[in-house]
Amino acid sequence: MASYKNKGGPGGSGGFGATGYYAARGAALLSLSSFKSVGWEFTDWAAILNSGTPPGWRKSAVGSGTGLPDVAAGAKGGRISMASGVTLSSSITYDTATPVISNISTEKWYFVTRQKINAQDAASVCASGLLNVASNKLILAGHIRALTPTNFGVSYDGLYAGSALDLAVARDTADHVIEVYCLGDDILRARIDEGAEVSATMASEPTDPVYPYIEVSNGAVATSRILNTDLFGIMFPR
């Protein structure tokens, strides 16, 4: 499991802890020569309302879906706990509603999430990533229905369909850090827990603007699916 590290942020900004480390990591991966034209949004859920909706995010629940703050032991300063509940076809989603990347195929971008899930199946989703404005295409990291039958993965081929990157780490209930990025060359790159990087040319990816998105859903199975998200960061062009 990748841990928090205390390193300076982009351009020697002196960012502390996870936000500084992953900002520096994203900047290095994207080979940025200037930081003046880069946006960096980072949420570690420390400032979270009792409703379970942190500043800058909106929550949408269907059926028995819930999203609440979780400050239990091991939460590392706060996290959001999302659960579908046991009602069939229930879900809970968070998004920022504000597009941050105009074209994920031709622009440089990077996102990172630290999350843990419970047991999953081919009907459920427990993942974080990017949703397009038209709401018909996703880039998701975590567990995505039948696309990730055994291991964690990253989808890049439409809406819960097509293909996904296999991160080669078996699904379990531990915390994992997943990083995903593109260099503007239509290639999706990802790694989990600072392991080996995998990549693929994207297919049927969003062509309209996208914004940060997190989803938990149980599909047609009456079992509660749970995702605890400890951090979410995204670097994008300005």
pLDDT in tens, 112-143: 999 999 999 999 999 999 999 999 999 999 99
The percentage of the chain sitting over the pLDDT mark of 90, rounded to a whole number, equals 65
Give the confidence band of 235 by pLDDT, cuts at 50, 70, 90: very high
The percentage of the chain sitting over the pLDDT mark of 70, rounded to a whole number, equals 86
Distance CA 59, CA 178 (A): 22
Distance CA 18, CA 167 (A): 22
Query: Using an 8 Å Cβ cutoff, are 237 and 101 in contact?
Result: yes
Sheet holding 151-155, edge to edge: 58-62, 91-95, 210-217, 125-132, 138-144, 151-155, 164-170
Higher pLDDT, 69 or 223: 223
Query: Helix-strand-coil percent breakdown of the chain, rounded to 5?
Result: 10, 45, 50
Higher pLDDT, 37 or 27: 27
Helix (H) or strand (E) holding 211: strand 210-217
* Residue tagged 């590290």 (tokens): 5
Query: Using an 8 Å Cβ cutoff, are 212 and 96 in contact?
Result: yes
pLDDT tens profile 149-184: 999 999 998 899 888 999 999 999 999 999 999 999
Q: What is the CA radius of gyration of the chain?
A: 16
pLDDT tens profile 83-95: 999 999 999 999 9
Query: Using an 8 Å Cβ cutoff, are 108 and 32 in contact?
Result: yes
Query: Using an 8 Å Cβ cutoff, are 27 and 10 in contact?
Result: yes
| Nearest residue to 107 via CA among 206, 36, 182 | 182
* Residue tagged 């009456």 (tokens): 222
CATH class of 43-237: mainly beta
Model pTM score: 0.90
Query: Using an 8 Å Cβ cutoff, are 85 and 193 in contact?
Result: no
Q: What angle do CA 55, 175, 99 make, to 5 degrees?
A: 35
